[in-house]
Amino acid sequence: MIRVGIVGYGNVGRGAECAVMQSKDMVLAGIFTRRDAASIHPLSPDTKVYPYAALEEGAEADVLLLCGGSATDLPEQTPQLARRYCVVDTFDTHARIPAHFAAVDAAAKAGQTAAIISTGWDPGLFSLMRLLGNAALPEGAGDTFWGPGVSQGHSDAVRRIEGVADARSYTIPVQKTAHAVRQGATGFTPREKHTREVYVVLKEGADPQRVAQEIITMPHYFDEYDTTVTFISAEEMAAEHMAMPHGGFVIRSGKLGPERQFGSLMEFKLELDSNPMFTGAFLAAFGRACHRLHERGQSGCFTAFDVPLGLLSPLSGEELRKTLL
């Protein structure tokens, strides 16, 4: 049994806990939190909760699933913990991946541990799809679309506007553009690829027109998209917008043959009732792979590109060849 520790207990942490409980080859070593341990209520009463500091003293875990955020938690925690533990994270700030990789690689090599970074569904699963598409169809076009789904980051940004009591922002792929990408078209702007739909509960007395204007002109978050703003009651928000669905699709379209006359389309689609539950599931599978890489004597930082995918499964190579190949 692989002893798995969970570091951080938000939505993804709960997803990871569920995934470990669904995995027959894993046992939960505990949840490690910087919050008051007594305030954490794991899904199973058997799950132990420890303060984060317990990791410094040494925890009996074969691998840690790091469930913190990419903004401040992971840049610090992943390299720090990689010095002592095998670790897996979901670092998703694309522009900072090279720096994060370098920091984690140095720490893991020093500690003779294995680390796999950026293992959610994007980056992670979708990255693998982009890679397969590019490898099979080097002359081609491709693009990634997200949604329909809730964007946590965009929802948070709207909540910070004065007069907003609560908000939920949905990302919607533009099907017409996706269709064009399947035909080989490229070069679309953010506005052409996705729209955004924002649902807002106003604080008493707030001016809806000003709030709507602040949303649709917000740099980076909304100004590059066609955004609709709908004002709803707190009751409607609670009744209809508490779920965290997400998904998306990765398209690769290319031409093969001596005259490039043969069209080829590869498309991977994901539809999730719960974004953090699926992220936790994938994180746990990469936790298994991380432990196994380490068992094979490998150390340093890896991404989804560097891991033989057979290591994600609890089945042996022989069983995999018999049942899934």
Q: Which spans of this chain sit near a second copy (rule: CB under 8 A)? A: 15, 18-19, 22-24, 43, 94, 97-98, 101, 118, 123, 125, 127-132, 134-139, 247, 256-258, 261-274, 277-278, 280-282, 285, 288, 303-310, 312-314, 317-318, 320-322, 324-325
Q: Nearest Cα to 170, choosing from 83, 275, 44?
A: 275
Nearer to a second copy, 17 or 214 (CB): 17
Min. distance of Cβ 23 from a second copy in angstroms? 6
Q: Tell the smallest beta-carbon distance from residue 204 to a second copy (Å).
A: 35
From the CB of 320, what's the least distance to a second copy, in Å? 5
Q: Answer whether 124's CB lies under 8 Å from 133's CB.
A: no
Strand, helix or coil for residue 311: helix
Residues near 49 by beta carbon (within 8 Å), at least 6 away in sequence: 9, 30, 31, 32, 33, 37, 40, 42
Question: Residue 146 or residue 225: which is nearer to a second copy going by CB?
Answer: 146
* Nearer Cβ to a second copy (196/294): 294
Q: How far is the CB of 295 from a second copy (least distance, A)?
A: 15
Beta-bridge partners for 230: 199
Nearer to a second copy, 64 or 304 (CB): 304
CB 144 within 8 A of CB 249: yes
Closer residue to a second copy in complex, CB, 201/304? 304
| Minimum distance of a second copy from residue 39's CB (angstroms) | 19
DSSP 133: H
Map tokens 């955020």 to a residue. Answer: 69
Determine the Cα–Cα distance for residues 65 and 277; give it in Å rounded to an integer.
Answer: 14
